[in-house]
């Protein structure tokens, strides 16, 4: 049956880590990896995981640290002959650490995807890092941020493996976001995919503030945002909406909410903008590159890393609405430049950010952990 791996994802919401895990589950079989996916709360992607090819087991987490849940996971590990357990956030890692405690043949892996929300999670991760067999960090830029700003000493016990998206998942269904929003076929369409978070991660307001100057030169340009609003981020969303109302942008800026049709949205964009304050290596950027959409990104470390210091994207200073507006106008006015950026970015992403590139490196890591265990016996 191949290598046996258990993933624990506490929730199955529509976020970057969950989409990464879903793409892994859908494609792991081709790399001789069999995944048992355990979740403690489920979520909007539960049906997708059930159809992914992984064995989905729905449990219930009743407490922040649930010893009974950990005992259930431990039972699954033993019954299924699991060799690797893998989590994506602190709550995942805590329950996997408890579940696999004392099981020397079982190797523990924890992935770091991006922003670490609060002191509680940082303390949990500081506890977990030395107790994992390997910690995966999705970019060197995130590795630096964790060390310098979050004070999480991860470098000496981590490896960098880029996230990967599935190009097959990015095939559009034919649904038109232009028809839904009433955008003319010839109108320039700009988009950003990313949730509104309460923490300083995504920066949609800078994109909104860039639009008035864009509309002076391209009066029929339209901007769409795809992403939900996290509890506690309502004020950030309201700031964007209020700016649009106050500056007469409501006909040219559309907030679509959480969406399951991102491939259809990407297929009709002329430019993908990713304005951010802090990132790991966002799946949304990998998806846009693989979909062949020209990118504009803010100049933070992980986004510069993903675009090779701007070789595969236009770059603007973080939080600089004027700089972003200039980049948007320059690209909208240069079809050849947009085409060149999109083609080069797609070629680079297929080699580095596809799900197969990710799974090849992931399997190699898993093999090294298992063989290392065997070598020590």
- Domains of the chain, first to last: 3-164+355-375 (3.40.50.2000), 177-352 (3.40.50.2000)
Which stretch of 10-14, 316-320, 361-365 has the lowest confidence by average pLDDT? 10-14
Rounded to the nearest 10°, the torsion over CA 344, 292, 250, 247 is: 0
Residue with tokens 């990015």: 170
Q: Which residues, other chains included, contact 120 with Cβ-Cβ below 8 Å and sequence gap of 6+?
A: none
pLDDT at position 195 is 94
Give bridge partners of residue 56 from the DSSP assignment: 37
How high is the pLDDT of residue 1? Answer: 62
Can you list the alpha helix ranges (DSSP code H) found in the chain?
A: 16-27, 46-50, 67-80, 90-99, 119-128, 140-148, 177-181, 204-217, 234-246, 262-268, 283-290, 301-306, 321-332, 335-352, 355-375
Mean pLDDT (whole number) for 296-309: 96
Burial call 93-124: b when 16+ CB within 10 Å, e when fewer: bbbbbbbbeeeeebbbbbbbbbbbeeeebbeb
Residues 295-311 have a mean pLDDT of 96
Model pLDDT, residue 377: 34
Residue 367 or residue 372, greater confidence:
367
Mean pLDDT for 307-331 is: 97
Mean pLDDT of 27-41: 97
Round the average pLDDT of the chain to a whole number and report it: 95
Q: How far apart are CA 77 and CA 106, in angstroms?
A: 8
Whether the pLDDT of residue 301 is over 60: the answer is yes
Sign of the alpha-carbon torsion through 234, 235, 238, 244: negative
The predicted structure's pLDDT at residue 306? 95
Q: What is residue 339's predicted lDDT score, i.e. its pLDDT? A: 97
Query: What is the mean pLDDT of the segment spanning 103-129?
Result: 92
* pLDDT at 351 exceeding the cut of 50: yes
Provide, rounded to the nearest whole percent, the portion of the chain with pLDDT above 70: 98
Rounded distance between C-alpha atoms, residue 84 and residue 371, angstroms:
12
Residue 374: pLDDT band with limits 50, 70, 90: very low
- Cβ(202)–Cβ(276) under 8 Å? yes
Indicate whether 46 pLDDT > 90: yes
Asked if residue 201 lies in contact with residue 277, where contact means CB atoms within 8 angstroms, the answer is: yes
Tell me if 71 sits within 8 A of 102, measured CB to CB.
no
Amino acid 114: pLDDT: 86
Q: How confident is the model at residue 111 (pLDDT cuts 50, 70, 90)?
A: very high
Q: What percent of the chain has pLDDT over 90?
A: 91
375 pLDDT more than 80: no
Instruction: Categorize the per-residue pLDDT at 218 as very low, low, confident or very high, splitting at 50, 70 and 90.
Output: very high
Per the CB < 8 A criterion, the answer to whether 153 and 170 are in contact is no
pLDDT of residue 373 exceeding 70: no
What average pLDDT does the segment 73-97 reach?
97
Q: Are strands 55-58 and 84-87 parallel, antiparallel or unpaired?
A: unpaired
* 57 contacts: CB under 8 Å, gap ≥ 6: 36, 37, 38, 39, 76
On the question of pLDDT at 155 being above 90, the answer is no
* Better-predicted residue by pLDDT, 47 or 156: 47
Band (pLDDT 50/70/90 cuts) for residue 14 is: confident
């Amino acid at each position: 049956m191949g290598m046996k791996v258990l993933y624990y994802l506490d929730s199955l919401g529509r976020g970057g880590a969950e989409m990464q895990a879903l793409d892994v589950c859908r494609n792991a079989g081709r790399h001789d990896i069999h995944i048992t996916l355990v979740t403690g709360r489920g979520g909007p992607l539960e049906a997708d995981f059930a159809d992914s090819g992984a064995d989905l087991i729905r449990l219930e987490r009743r407490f922040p640290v649930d010893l009974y849940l950990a005992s259930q996971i431990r039972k699954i590990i033993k019954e299924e002959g699991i060799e690797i357990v893998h989590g994506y956030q602190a709550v995942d890692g805590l329950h996997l650490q408890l579940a696999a405690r004392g099981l020397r043949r079982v190797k523990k892996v924890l992935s770091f995807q991006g922003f670490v929300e609060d002191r509680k999670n940082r303390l949990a991760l500081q506890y977990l890092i030395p107790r994992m067999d390997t910690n995966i960090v999705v970019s060197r830029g995130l590795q630096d941020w964790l060390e310098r700003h979050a004070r999480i000493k991860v470098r000496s016990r981590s490896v960098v493996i880029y996230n990967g998206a599935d190009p097959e998942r990015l095939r559009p269904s034919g649904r038109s976001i232009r028809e839904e929003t009433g955008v003319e076929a010839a109108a320039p369409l700009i988009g950003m995919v990313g949730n509104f978070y309460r923490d300083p991660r995504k920066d949609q307001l800078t994109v909104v503030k860039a639009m008035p100057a864009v509309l002076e030169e391209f009066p029929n340009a339209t901007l769409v945002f795809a992403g939900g609003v996290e509890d506690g981020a309502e004020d950030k969303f309201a700031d964007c909406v209020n700016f649009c109302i106050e500056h007469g942008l409501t006909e040219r800026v559309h907030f679509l909410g959480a969406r399951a049709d991102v491939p259809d949205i990407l297929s009709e964009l002329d430019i993908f903008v990713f304005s951010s304050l802090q990132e790991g290596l966002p799946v949304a950027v990998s998806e846009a590159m693989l979909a062949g959409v020209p990118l504009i990104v803010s100049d933070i470390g992980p986004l510069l890393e993903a675009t090779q210091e701007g070789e595969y994207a236009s770059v603007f200073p973080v939080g600089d609405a004027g700089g972003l507006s200039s980049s948007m106008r320059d690209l909208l006015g240069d079809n050849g430049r947009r085409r060149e950026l999109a083609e080069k970015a797609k070629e680079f992403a297929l080699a580095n950010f596809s799900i197969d590139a990710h799974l090849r490196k992931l399997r190699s890591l898993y093999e090294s952990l298992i063989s290392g265990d065997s070598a020590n016996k």
